[in-house]
Amino acid sequence: MYPETADIETSSDDYASRFAGPAGAWMLQVQERIVIDWLKSHPGATVLDIGGGHGQLAIPIANMGFPVTVLGSDATCGKRLEKKVSSGKIKFTTGNVIDLPFSNKSFDVAVCIRLIPHCERWPELITQLCRVARHAVIVDYPTIQSINIFSSSLFGLKKKLEGNTRPFKLFKHSDITNEFLKNQYTMANRQPEFFLPMVLHRKLNKPSISASLEGFFRIAGLTRIFGSPILVEMISGSEKNYK
């Protein structure tokens, strides 16, 4: 067993149920649109998705024609990707997320979604992401500079509403950017996904209403300041010579 295996849970059917229904599909579309838009600036890029057995991005990225490899901590992490793997659209392998079994600069872009806030040794994970990526790394994280600041005190209520939620680490923006800076990566793009907590959108389960509410907060500038989770694209020092 590897020292960090949080992706086993996020690759499970139980975790996928958190994004079942209209609201879940809408939230995933918001995430997908942002990441796909960033990847368009890396045409033909080879993509490594660490902990991406949930398929939230590996599948749509593969559907866009990018060569995708997914690494999971256990063979069970590939269950939700079986159809894409058998068709040759996605490669799946197992390994240690904080000691990736790939040589330096093996992929053009590394993606890591839903893993950093559940990884105790997250600085090592970031180091590994930067080591194996030639040009860019895309990650997400929940920020304390948002409504999440109340997450600890409200966790019991969130647990009652969702049932299968779990604790997660909150970050300052500087926690993430500084760790990438140590690995010679700087920020190219940063996009908060939602102003309102995702649990509220799940319970509302009305994508049209959620989209209207989030549109209002985005126009008002509140999402930019207080939105979470945060998606960031970090680029290597050589990226300016690549584009």
pLDDT of residue 158: 43
pLDDT of residue 167: 72
User: Has residue 76 been placed in a domain?
Assistant: yes
Which stretch of DSSP H or E encloses residue 231?
Answer: strand 230-236
Q: What is the pTM of this model?
A: 0.90
DSSP summary character for residue 45: -
pLDDT of residue 1: 81
Our count of domains for the chain comes to 1
Q: What angle do CA 177, 129, 56 make, to 5 degrees?
A: 95
State residue 73 phi and psi, 5-degree precision.
-75, -15
Distance, CA of 5 to CA of 96 (rounded, Å): 8
CATH number at residue 63: 3.40.50.150
User: Has residue 19 been placed in a domain?
Assistant: yes
User: Has residue 52 been placed in a domain?
Assistant: yes
Reduced to 3 states (helix: H, G, I; strand: E, B; else coil), residue 61 is: helix
Is the pLDDT confidence value at 146 over 70? no
Whether 19 contacts 140, CB under 8 Å:
no
